[in-house]
Amino acid sequence: MSINVTPTKEILENSDMVIVDIRTEGEWMQTGVVPGCKTITFFDERGGYDAEGFLKQMDALGGKDVEIGLICRTGARTAQVANFMAQQGYNVKNLVGGVMKLMGEGYQLSPYKG
């Protein structure tokens, strides 16, 4: 089963999937975020990361018992993180194309409020 899913309005707004935006705070401020998503950075501005700390935050959202959809700018970072999480036993989806795809299709993001 593929972990790659094309994000749709139905998936983003009307499913039980927990949407997690893994971009940086600067990116959230620049473009806004999917309404109702969780904002949890995976890679910092320099490409560093804390995988264990990130998984703990995922566990706090329901962990392996919920479906988690990861979104980033274009889907490149989420492809890496989704593969890693799937190997750890999480029910995870990479929302292909990321926020750039959504914005290109006219989807309205919400301002990031911090």
Q: In whole angstroms, what is the distance from residue 28 CA to residue 34 CA?
A: 10
Q: Do residues 71 and 4 make contact, with C-beta atoms less than 8 angstroms apart?
A: no
Residues 6-28: what's their mean pLDDT?
93
For 4-104, CATH number? 3.40.250.10
State pLDDT tens for residues 35-93: 999 999 999 889 899 999 999 999 999 999 999 999 999 999 999 999 999 999 999 99
Task: Name the amino acid, one letter, at 40.
Answer: I
- Domain borders along the chain are 4-104
- State mean pLDDT over 23-28: 96
- Could you tell me if 72 and 21 are in contact, meaning their C-beta atoms sit under 8 angstroms apart? yes
Quickly tell me which residue has 């940086």 as its tokens: 24
Average pLDDT over residues 19-33: 97
- pLDDT for residue 34 is more than 80: yes
Task: Please state the pTM of the whole predicted model.
Answer: 0.95
Task: Give the pLDDT band of residue 15 (cuts 50, 70, 90).
Answer: confident
User: Tell me, what's the pLDDT at 14?
Assistant: 86
Residue 3 near residue 94, CB atoms below 8 Å: yes
**CA 52 to CA 6: how far, in whole Å?**
27
pLDDT of residue 1: 52
